[in-house]
């Protein structure tokens, strides 16, 4: 009988330690993973926007020349 009580007490202590130490660590790990995924999505979105802006700025805008504004090409030597 005493042996059973000691085993139950040991099991209780082990379960208690696992729940107070391991469970918060698992929750923290999960929260950090969620935060990292969110930050990765935001970084990917910012990178996509930056590339899109760079492309739109690097493409020269063609101005429409009106008739009569033609400049003759002269060969230089």
Residue 71 sits at the vertex; the CA angle it makes with 65 and 76, to the nearest 5 degrees, is 145
Q: Which two tokens stand for residue 48?
A: 């996509």
How does residue 12 score in pLDDT terms, banded at 50, 70 and 90? very high
Residue 22, CA atoms < 13 Å, CB-side half-sphere: 6
Q: Which two tokens stand for residue 44?
A: 């990917």
Map tokens 């099991």 to a residue. Answer: 11
CA 16 vs. chain centroid, Å, equals 36
- The rounded mean pLDDT for the chain is 85
More confidently predicted of 39 and 56: 39
Query: What are the residue ranges spanned by the domains of the chain?
Result: 17-49
The pTM of the whole model exceeds 0.75:
no
Distances (CA, A) of 20 to 10, 15, 16, 28, 64: 15, 9, 6, 13, 72
């Amino acid at each position: 009988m005493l042996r059973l009580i000691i085993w139950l007490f040991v099991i209780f202590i082990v379960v208690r330690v696992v729940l107070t130490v391991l469970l918060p660590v698992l929750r923290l790990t999960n929260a950090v993973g969620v935060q990292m995924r969110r930050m990765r999505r935001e970084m990917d979105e910012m990178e996509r926007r930056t590339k899109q802006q760079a492309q739109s700025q690097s493409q020269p805008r063609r101005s429409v020349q009106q008739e009569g504004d033609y400049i003759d090409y002269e060969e230089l030597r």
